Amino acid sequence: MSLTFDVKTVNINGSSHRILLQNENGPCALLALCNVLLLSPQLMQQAGPLLDLVSRSNEVGLHEIITTLANIGVQVPRGVSSDVDRLLQLLPQLHTGLSINPIFNGSFQDGDEMALFRLFNVSIVHGWLADYAGDPLQYQHVSNYSYEGAQNALIAAYDIQHGNIAETQENAAAVQDSNFIKSFLARSATQLTECGLDHMKEVLLENSYAVMFRNDHFATICKSNNQLFTLVTDLGFKNDTQVVWQSLKSVNGSQDTFFTGNFLPAMFNRTSTQGSSLVPGARGSSNNPFADPAASQHASGPENDPNFMTDEQYARQLQEQEDARVARSMQRNYEDTRASRNENSGTAKKGKESKKKGPKTRKRDKLKKSCVLM
Which residues are known catalytic residues? 28, 217
Neighbours of 332 (CB within 10 A): 11
What does residue 182 show for φ and ψ, rounded to 5 degrees? -60, -40
Instruction: List CB contacts of 147: < 8 A, sequence separation 6 or more.
Output: 101, 102, 103, 104, 128, 367
Q: Are the CB atoms for 190 and 323 separated by under 8 Å?
A: yes
Q: Are the CB atoms for 236 and 214 separated by under 8 Å?
A: no
CA distance linking residue 103 with residue 295, whole number of Å? 32
Side chain identity, residue 321: Q
Instruction: List CB contacts of 259: < 8 A, sequence separation 6 or more.
Output: 229, 243, 244, 245, 246, 247, 265, 266
Report the candidate in 163, 151, 130 with the shortest Cα–Cα distance to residue 347: 163
Handedness of CA 122, 197, 215, 256 (dihedral sign): negative
